[in-house]
Amino acid sequence: MACRSPTPLLDEYELFVNRMNTPRVVIDNASSSSTTLIKVDSARKHGILLEAVQALTDLDLSIKKGYISSDGRWFMDVFHCTDQQGRKITADTSYLISRIERCLTMDPFCDFSHNRVLDHLTSLELTGSDRVGLLSEVFAVLADLNCSVVEAKVWTHNKRIGAIISVKDEKSGSPIEDKQTANRIRARLKHVLKGGNGLRGAPLTEVSYPARVGMDADRRMHQIMFADRDYEGMDDRWRKEEVSTSSPLVSVQNWGERRGYSVVTVQCRDRPKLLFDVVCTLTDMEYVVFHGTMDTTGDLAHQEFYIRHLDGNPISSEAERERVIQCLRAAILRRSSEGVRLELCTTDRPGLLAFVTRTFRENGLSVTRADISTKGPKAVNVFYVTDAWGHMPDQKILDAVVQRIGEEDLKVKEEPWHRYCSGSAAREGGTGGTGLLSIGSIVWKKIWA
């Protein structure tokens, strides 16, 4: 997505305000016995909250609690954070401060200000109908066309699949710049994606150079799946399902008495990057979060946001309200880790992914999510797999797959988040969700008193 060119008068003033009011980050390790407080103050602009949350997420920090408040042209965020093991942050605080401030002071008119542009890679973006073995076919095509996969993200949701795959020419190590080759890749992949039954709309296959990977990849995944309308057709299924901690509860109400805000409430099972997924979706749907709270009790997360559209109006119709609910549910579920986590760490070689995913397919396993990367000569990949019906796979099948690929290379792993999230409330002294009050009970008194 290209950078926007600023309109002369207003945007010059916006740039002046941003330069005069550079973001300020304070890290407090004394106020809480279980979390590190990260306070962010900055001039308010659209997307600034997403940038703050993305900066924390990219540092592998877990946001346990927090509140958001803005008044006029200024905003303040306070996040209670831990590392991925649920402990207070012990890293060099000066490094954290400079890293977060650097993320917040990027060009505000560039949609992907955090991109890493890799000149030696070509990026492929795919969407289509999901089916068992589809990913195996995609990687088989790339191997046949001498494309070496360097990084990839694959998400599935609501019988749809989205993927961003960064490749290079296997023989030369160069990006794929030749138009004829790029068109051949696009045509072959589109043919594979058309092979699914119940196709809703034409599959998307985009080939671009240079590749943009890294910090913005998750946001781009949300955007391409949103554009694919993976949120459609979820209403009937949600009405039939029983409410549980694995089923996100999302509500949207207008609070006209308080300056025309719409109140968005999200309650679901906590997991890494949950706040990012929700804020990213609201931002890309062109809503502005003015105030909010977030809290976790054990493995249950509760979030509340007071929003307006970019034009300053709250949500104005029942159709718009339902659409926001659908899109937020979809954003939460896209990254949900369904199935068994398999970690592959081995020496990278041509055709490795085609071999691994073909082994999954031959044993009736379906890949629901994948994070693929290379670190030097090593391939470091994570797959989430189910059986063909979306259930947990049989242990005998998993054993056969591990045996085929290699016991030293492929490991069945527990999701790291599950190891400590259930005990987080105990480490916080049993306070759970009482550490923060609802916006409705405290923030309004502070702001409009």
Question: DSSP states of 214-257 as a string?
Answer: STTHHHHHHHHHHHTTTTTT-HHHHHHSPP-TTS-EEEEEEETT
Q: Tell whether 222 is covered by a domain.
A: no
- Do 273 and 391 fall into the same domain? no
Question: In 110-245, which residue ranges form alpha helices assigned H by DSSP?
Answer: 134-144, 179-193, 217-227, 235-240
Rounded to 10 degrees, the C-alpha dihedral 416/417/421/422 comes to -60
Identify the weakest region by mean pLDDT among 235-239, 338-342, 399-403: 235-239
How high is the pLDDT of residue 8? 46
How high is the pLDDT of residue 113? 42
**Residues 57-64: contacts with CB within 8 Å, 24+ apart?**
57/272, 57/273, 57/275, 57/276, 58/103, 58/114, 58/215, 59/96, 59/99, 59/100, 60/84, 61/89, 62/86, 62/272, 63/275, 63/294, 64/35, 64/295, 64/296, 64/424, 64/428
- Do 241 and 300 fall into the same domain? yes
Question: DSSP states of 354-388 as a string?
Answer: HHHHHHHHHTTEEEEEEEEEEETTEEEEEEEEEET
CA distances for 264 relative to 45, 69, 255, 300, angstroms: 20, 15, 10, 17
Query: Is the pLDDT at 14 greater than 50, yes or no?
Result: yes
Q: Tell whether 221 is covered by a domain.
A: no
Please state, rounded to an integer, the average pLDDT across all residues of the chain.
Answer: 82
Neighbours of 44 (CB within 10 A): 17
Of 417, 438, 75, nearest to 274 by C-alpha is 417
- Do 407 and 382 fall into the same domain? yes
- Do 43 and 139 fall into the same domain? no
Q: In this structure, which amino acid lies at residue 31?
A: S
How high is the pLDDT of residue 361? 97
How high is the pLDDT of residue 372? 97
- Do 190 and 51 fall into the same domain? no
How high is the pLDDT of residue 92? 75
Distance CA 25, CA 61 (A): 15
Output the CA angle 387-393-397, nearest 5 degrees: 105
Q: At 47, is the pLDDT very low, low, confident or very high (cuts 50, 70, 90)?
A: confident
Query: Is the pLDDT at 430 greater than 60, yes or no?
Result: no
Q: Tell whether 2 is covered by a domain.
A: no
- Do 127 and 183 fall into the same domain? yes
What are residue 412's DSSP bridge partners?
342
Output the CA angle 94-96-100, nearest 5 degrees: 120
**Residues 251-260: contacts with CB within 8 Å, 24+ apart?**
251/325, 252/315, 252/321, 252/324, 252/325, 254/314, 254/315, 255/306, 255/314, 256/314, 258/306, 258/444, 258/448, 260/308, 260/312, 260/313, 260/314
Residues 153-205 pLDDT 10s: 999 999 999 999 999 999 888 988 888 999 999 999 999 998 655 445 557 77
Whether 12 contacts 246, CB under 8 Å = no
How high is the pLDDT of residue 116? 53
Q: At 108, is the pLDDT very low, low, confident or very high (cuts 50, 70, 90)?
A: very low
- Do 330 and 258 fall into the same domain? yes
- Do 271 and 331 fall into the same domain? yes
104 or 226, greater pLDDT: 226
Q: Span 71-96, mean pLDDT?
A: 85
Distance CA 276, CA 114 (A): 15
Residue 445, classed as helix, strand or coil, is helix
How high is the pLDDT of residue 294? 96
CATH classification of the domain holding 148? 3.30.70.260
Identify the weakest region by mean pLDDT among 121-130, 416-425, 430-439: 430-439
Q: Span 376-401, mean pLDDT?
A: 95
Neighbours of 392 (CB within 10 A): 12
Q: Tell whether 218 is covered by a domain.
A: no
- Do 408 and 363 fall into the same domain? yes
Q: Tell whether 226 is covered by a domain.
A: no
Q: What percent of the chain has pLDDT over 90?
A: 55
What are residue 252's DSSP bridge partners?
264
Angle between helices 274-284 and 48-58 (to 10 degrees): 150
What are residue 293's DSSP bridge partners?
67, 304
Sign of CA dihedral 243, 244, 250, 253: positive
Q: At 256, is the pLDDT very low, low, confident or very high (cuts 50, 70, 90)?
A: low
Angle between helices 352-362 and 134-144 (to 10 degrees): 150
Q: In this structure, which amino acid lies at residue 112?
A: F
- Do 156 and 295 fall into the same domain? no
Q: At 420, is the pLDDT very low, low, confident or very high (cuts 50, 70, 90)?
A: very low
How high is the pLDDT of residue 7? 43
Number of domains in the chain: 2
How high is the pLDDT of residue 258? 57
**Greatest mean pLDDT among 197-211, 369-383, 433-447:** 369-383
Q: Tell whether 126 is covered by a domain.
A: yes
How high is the pLDDT of residue 79? 95
Q: At 11, is the pLDDT very low, low, confident or very high (cuts 50, 70, 90)?
A: low
- Do 13 and 104 fall into the same domain? yes
Q: Tell whether 220 is covered by a domain.
A: no
- Do 433 and 330 fall into the same domain? yes
Residues 262-295 pLDDT 10s: 999 999 999 889 999 999 999 999 999 999 999 9
Q: Which are the contacts of 116, defined by CB distance < 8 A and separation ≥ 6?
A: 212, 213, 214, 215
Q: Tell whether 187 is covered by a domain.
A: yes
Q: At 254, is the pLDDT very low, low, confident or very high (cuts 50, 70, 90)?
A: confident
CA distances for 2 relative to 109, 282, 435, angstroms: 10, 20, 41
Whether 96 contacts 89, CB under 8 Å = yes
Q: At 3, is the pLDDT very low, low, confident or very high (cuts 50, 70, 90)?
A: very low
237 or 191, greater pLDDT: 191
Task: Residue 343: give the domain boundaries.
Answer: 119-213+338-414
Residues 389-419 pLDDT 10s: 999 999 999 999 999 999 999 999 876 655 4
Q: At 94, is the pLDDT very low, low, confident or very high (cuts 50, 70, 90)?
A: confident
Residue 276, classed as helix, strand or coil, is helix
Distance CA 266, CA 254 (A): 15
Tokens of 443: 């923030």
How high is the pLDDT of residue 44? 80
